[in-house]
Structure 1
């Protein structure tokens, strides 16, 4: 007993195939997008002993000069964690991308920036440290590398401490 009119019956199979194909489009589209929207893995230029991703500086480092006030005469060297935290604080609010742009603090205690392809690059402190005035360096006193000290805090756990508290 066939209850469907013969004129409609010849359109059912092509209509079913068309609807099946249309239902597959979102799945196929989602598969293609996941590969392009995921940023590539981080770049760690510090492997192999070379430090190539330290941010280039176009300005000379502050140095102790005659005629400065007492607070500015003493230059403190920041290295290690203290230098990384200094670089992070100096660049965390910039809008650009790349080495001269915005820096981020990772949960594992490392500092990084993102390039134009949104790929993270780990930042390493300059081998000779960073010379800053004593007044600027005070906030980094507790970190390893302050005035070339081998002891002190590292940056682990600092990202969670600085994270905003979620609204409830």
Structure 2
């Protein structure tokens, strides 16, 4: 008596192909990640401003202000949300003018926070300086409705501004 092995071989081959199709996406996801590997990492919340020596970017720090003030210069202090929005908009203006000079681009998230991505693609939350930022009074007026304008605790936050 002769046994036909063709049905058995066909079903085994079909089982191997089916198993390969199910395992292939998992194996493909185990790669090195390439240049975009940091894009899926959680954001880093830098609790203190970054400096050139510890970040390589010099971002997260307030622009240098003149220590001595003339009697003709009226300034406002921006802290909190007002400072973050000011920093974001200044960065955007420098980006549009092509003046970032190797510094990362700031982004405004949907949750109302400002962040940038480092060279590996990992997001870093931007923290405004605790002492605030001195801004010329005329320029600061556009931020008067935001929390932190002249150190006020009331006002608008940045939630919803990141939806563009």
The two structures have a TM-score, normalised by structure 2, of: 0.66
Alignment of 1:1-168 (within 5 A): 27=25, 30-33=28-31, 36=33, 37=37, 38-46=39-47, 51-53=48-50, 55-56=60-61, 60-61=64-65, 65-66=69-70, 73-92=73-92, 94=95, 100-159=103-162, 163-164=163-164
- 1:137–1:27 CA distance, 2 compared to 1 (3 A): same
Corresponding pairs, count: 148
Two-structure CA RMSD over aligned residues (Å): 4.0
Shift, 1:56, TM fit: 3.3
Question: Is the 1:63–1:132 Cα contact (8 Å) retained in structure 2?
Answer: no
What CA distance in whole angstroms lies between the structure 2 residues aligned with 1:151 and 1:23?
56
What CA distance in whole angstroms lies between the structure 1 residues aligned with 2:45 and 2:125?
6
Shift, 1:118, TM fit: 0.6
Question: Is the 1:96–1:102 Cα contact (8 Å) retained in structure 2?
Answer: no
From the CA coordinates, give the structure whose radius of gyration is larger. 1
- 1:142–1:28 CA distance, 2 compared to 1 (3 A): closer
Shift, 1:129, TM fit: 0.3
The two structures have a TM-score, normalised by structure 1, of: 0.64
Gaps of 5+ in 2: 1-13, 51-58
Question: Is the 1:62–1:133 Cα contact (8 Å) retained in structure 2?
Answer: no
SS at match of 1:132: strand
What CA distance in whole angstroms lies between the structure 1 residues aligned with 2:151 and 2:26?
56
Kindly indicate whether structure 1 or structure 2 has the higher relative contact order, using CA contacts under 8 Å at least 6 residues apart: 2
Question: Is the 1:39–1:117 Cα contact (8 Å) retained in structure 2?
Answer: no
Question: Is the 1:63–1:131 Cα contact (8 Å) retained in structure 2?
Answer: no
Question: Is the 2:61–2:129 Cα contact (8 Å) retained in structure 1?
Answer: no
Question: Is the 1:62–1:131 Cα contact (8 Å) retained in structure 2?
Answer: no
Gaps of 5+ in 1: 1-15
